[in-house]
Amino acid sequence: MNRITIVLSLVILLAFTSLGGANPGGVGDGDFDMQCGGACHGDASQNQTSPALLELSLDGDAYFGLPVSITASVSGIQFSSSDAIGLFLLTDVTGHSDLPEDGGWKVISDVNGGDNNYVEIGGSSFDEAYTISWTLKPTVIESTTFYLSIHHGGQNTPYFAISSGLNIDILPVPDNLPRLSSEYSPIISRDLGQQTTIPVATSDVDELAIEWRLVDRPSNSINATLVDNNSWEFELPPALQPSIIEWRAVMDGDGPTQITPWFRIAAQEPVLEVNQLQVYLQSLAFCIFFLTLILTLQSRYLNKEEDSPMEIDQTNLVPQQENSVGSTPPLPEGGLPDGWTMEQWKWYGHEYLEDEK
C-alpha cells in the first residue's frame, strides 16, 4: 500500500510540473501586463536582454474617441526553437497597471484578429523584420506614453526587451470632422462560412466607402449602404478557412476626408463554449465508472471461483464421514459390550471382534 501511495504521489507531482513550469511555446494572446511577461518565462530574474530593435509609431493624429493605429517595428530577433515571439503594448514600465486600458485606451483590434495588448507571432529566420499594428481608441483626453515589450527564447535562454516610450497627445475632435461614432466598436471575429454584414456608425459623414483586403493582398472598394441617419452597413464575403480580412472606411463630409485605420476581422471555427469543470467532472466520472465496472465484474467472478472449490471440498467431506460411519463394526448379538461406549466401539470394535474370533 505504501509503495502505491509513493508512486501515485510522484506521478501527481510530476504531472503538475508542466502546468507550473515556464511556457517557452507561448501562452496565447491575451491582456497581460509586463509582470506576466516575466512570469511567462518562469523566472523574470533569469531573462537576458534581447538584441531586438523595437520601435513604436503613431499613424496620423489621435483624436478623442476615434480609432487610431499604433505600429510596432521589430527586427534583429534571435529565435527560440519554437520561433515564436510575444509582443506587449504597454502604457507603463513599472510592471503593473500598465495595460492600455489603465492608460485610458481601448484596444479595438490587434494583428491576430483579437483585441489584446499581448500578441504572439511566428517567425522563420534571424534578423527578419516585422511590422504589426494595434488599433486603439482613446477614452480620456490626456497624454499617454506607450511602450513595446518583447519576449522570446533562444539558446535555452529567455530574452526580454522594452522600447523607448512613444508619447501621444490626444486632440479634441474638430467640428464637422467626418468620423466614426465615438461609441462605435467594430466586429472583430466571425464564424467560418458566414456572410457578414458590418454595421458602421458615423458622425458628420455624407458618403462612406469601404476598402477591404485579405492581409498583404490588394484591396477592393465597395460603397456602404446608408441604413438610417449616421448608420451604414456593408457586407464582407464568407471565409472558407481561418483567415483575417482588413477593412477601413473612407468618410466624406463637410470637413476634410478621413480614412480610418485598418480594422481586422478574423474568421475562425466556432469557439466551443463549455463549462470546463463539467467536462473534467464527467471525465473523472467516466474513469471511475469503467474502473468500477471491471473491478466489480472481476471481484464477482473471482469470488465465485473461490467459493466453488470450497463447496466441492465440503461435499467431499460428507462421503468420507459416511464411509467412516459405515466402517463401524457391527454390534455383537448381546449388544454393546459392558463398559464400552459407542464412540469406543466405532474405533476399537474391530479389535474386539478379532479377539472374539
Partner 1 sequence: MISSATFHVITTELVVGSFAMAGICFLVLAIQSFGVFESEKVSLVTDYAGHFALGFGLLATPFAIFSGISSSPTSDLSSPLLVNKMFLSMIATGLAIAVLFTRTKAGNQLWASKPSSLIQSAAGLAASGFMLMTASAGGKFSRGESVLDFLNLPYDTIFLMPTWVSAIILVAGVLSAIIAVINLQKSSAVEH
What are the residues binding partner 1 (CB under 8 A)?
11-12, 14-16, 18-19, 22-28, 81-82, 153, 156, 269, 271-272, 274-306
**Least spacing, CB of residue 314 vs partner 1, in Å:** 15
- When the beta carbons of 24 and 123 are compared against partner 1, the nearer one is 24
193 close to 238: Cβ distance less than 8 angstroms: yes
Nearest residue (CB) to partner 1, 26 versus 100? 26
Query: For residues 78 and 49, what is the distance between their CA atoms, to the nearest angstrom?
Result: 11
Minimum Å distance from CB 312 to partner 1? 14
φ and ψ of 274, to 5 deg: -140, 145
Environment class of residue 24 by beta-carbon count within 10 Å: exposed (0-12), middle (13-18) or buried (19+)? middle
Nearest to residue 244, comparing CAs of 59, 94, 113? Answer: 113
- Cα distance between residue 197 and residue 237, in whole Å: 9
Q: Are 40 and 22 contacting, i.e. CB atoms less than 8 angstroms apart?
A: yes
Nearer to partner 1, 30 or 199 (CB): 30
Taking the least distance from each CB to partner 1, the nearer of 15 and 325 is 15
96 vs 300, beta carbon nearer partner 1: 300
DSSP state of 222: E
Q: By C-beta, is 16 or 348 nearer to partner 1? A: 16
User: Which CB sits closer to partner 1, 9 or 143?
Assistant: 9
User: How far is residue 337 from each of residues 260, 320, 334, 351, 353, measured CA to CA in Å?
Assistant: 129, 27, 7, 13, 11
What's the min distance (Å) between Cβ of 186 and partner 1?
22
Give me the least distance between CB of 29 and partner 1, in Å please: 9
At closest approach, how far in Å is the CB of 285 from partner 1?
A: 4
Residue with Cβ nearer partner 1 (80 or 260): 80
Angle at 74 between CA 72 and CA 78, to 5 degrees: 155
Residue 171 or 297: the one with the smaller Cβ distance to partner 1 is 297
Q: How far is the CB of 196 from partner 1 (least distance, A)?
A: 21
Task: Please identify, using beta-carbon distances, which residue of 220 and 283 lies nearer to partner 1.
Answer: 283
| CA gap 21, 28 in Å, rounded | 15
Q: How far apart are CA 265 and CA 269, in angstroms?
A: 13
Q: Measured from the CB of residue 225, what is the shortest distance to partner 1 in angstroms? A: 35
Closest CB 41 distance from partner 1, rounded Å: 9
Q: What nine digits make up the cell of 200?
A: 458602421
Minimal distance in Å, beta carbon 127 to partner 1?
Answer: 23
Q: Which of 52, 248, 40, 251 is nearest to 150 (CA)?
A: 52
Alpha-carbon distances, residue 131 vs 53, 126, 215, 324 (angstroms) = 12, 15, 13, 103
111: number of Cβ within 10 Å: 21
Q: At closest approach, how far in Å is the CB of 105 from partner 1?
A: 25
Rounded Cα gap, residues 177 and 353, in angstroms: 137
Residue with cell string 483579437: 114
Encode 223-234: b = buried (16+ Cβ within 10 Å), e = exposed.
ebebeeebebbb
